[in-house]
Amino acid sequence: MDSERFIPKGAVYFPSRAFNAYQTYRDFRPEEIRRDFGYAEQAGINAIRLFLSYEYWLAFPEQLWEKFDTLLELARQSKIRVMPILFENCGRPSCPENAQNGHPLTAACMQSPGRIVTGDPALWEGPLSFVDAFMKRYAGDDRLLAIEVMNEPNENSGDLPFARRMAQRAFEQKKQIPLTIGCIHLYHNLYFAQWIDVYQFHENFPGSVQEMQAKLMQAAELQRVTGKQVWLTEWQRVRTAGPGWDSPVIPKEDTVPELCSLADAVYGSGIGSFFWSLMLKPAYLPAQRPNGTFNGLFHEDGKVYSLQDYRAVCRRQDAEPAGVLATRPAWFTALLEKSEKER
């Protein structure tokens, strides 16, 4: 399959109970991955965006590759291509405690390799070795849609030099699989343009459909002018009251999934896309956890949170899921109740 002609209709993927990338591989269960990719195939999803874990690789290098190989084969069986992400700008500092944390109120994503490393070029040999090990194994693996070197490097976090060096290193070993960066804004792609084949941008919580449409039009024009594909690799729902970053309280109706509020605009744009997220989960980022946000499409048992969201993603108004359950995940509610009793 030619990545230059393939338009992803994708989703971001973490197993339901994994709070970060390390936990994806620590608790890796092939039967769970197979089940979840079956849900994705059922909804017409043809691509998955997911994180690797540099920290897991440091501890268990061969196990990471074995588990990732298994995941790739399961994805192939469901006609899904995979876009792995090597490094993560967002989240709590990188440390064993944050990697292992499973508390329902404090567990969240984790920076990888973290600010201490990204801010000091003398510490980049480890991450460069990770890039080398990955590219040696997967630079020519056609089960991959693209290779995302890092998620959301930006000026404020100070990790652009690190991300540029990692992208350059990956480029030096590139074969036919495209390289990309998980950019927040379209202009961020300019920092990496000489090394990447696909441009990205994120727009999780636009204030209106019109706001999203304007950005999709910009992306489509950039795609036309440059000849490079442009993908919207994170989108969720309209929030008219604001995106809610670092807000302890947002309107209750804004805390729940509503993919249907943006699906027509996104899928009608002709731009490849990935919504957040395949599985129903509490918010990934610490900046959204305090306000009670959760997001996603499928419960673990295959029921969906929203029939409207499911049909919007399927692009069929007669699509019927295994069931509809408009509640938070049962496993997460149980964890909250347990933590309350232990206080």
Domain range list for the chain: 9-342
Pairwise CA distance, residues 233 & 284, whole Å = 15
Query: Residue 252: pLDDT above 50?
Result: yes
Quote the pLDDT of residue 340: 83
297-324 residue pLDDT tens:
999 999 999 999 999 999 999 999 999 9
d(CA 340, CA 236): 30
Mean pLDDT value across residues 159-167: 99
Interval 3-17 mean pLDDT: 91
| Residue 212 pLDDT greater than 70, yes or no | yes
Maximum CA pair distance of the chain? 58
Tell me what pLDDT residue 1 has.
Answer: 41
CB 94 within 8 A of CB 114: yes
pLDDT band at 4 (very low <50, low <70, confident <90, very high): low
Condensed to tens digits (0 to 9), the pLDDT of residues 279-297 reads: 999 999 999 988 999 999 9
- The runs of H, that is alpha helices, within the chain are 21-26, 30-42, 54-59, 61-77, 96-100, 115-118, 125-138, 160-172, 209-226, 263-267, 307-314, 330-342
This prediction's pTM: 0.97
Cβ atoms within 10 Å of 266's Cβ, excluding its own: 24
Angle formed at CA 205 by CA 266 and CA 71, multiple of 5 degrees:
65
The residue with tokens 């971001």 is: 12
Question: Tokens 């960066």 label which residue?
Answer: 181
For residue range 330-339, list pLDDT tens digits in order. 999 999 999 8
Asked whether the predicted pLDDT for residue 42 surpasses 60, the reply is yes
pLDDT at 170: 99
What 3-state class would DSSP assign to 76? helix
The rounded Cα 276 to chain-centroid distance in angstroms is 7
Residue 145 in tokens: 């849609």
Averaged pLDDT for residues 114-135: 99
Q: Are strands 272-275 and 294-295 parallel, antiparallel or unpaired?
A: unpaired
Mean pLDDT value of segment 43-71: 99
Q: Which CATH superfamily is domain 9-342 in?
A: Glycosidases (3.20.20.80)
Q: Which of 267, 266, 241 is nearest to 255 (CA)?
A: 241
Q: Is the pLDDT of residue 161 over 80?
A: yes
Average pLDDT (224-246) is 97
**Does residue 192 carry a pLDDT above 50?**
yes
Three-state secondary-structure class, residue 10: strand
pLDDT at residue 342 in the model: 80
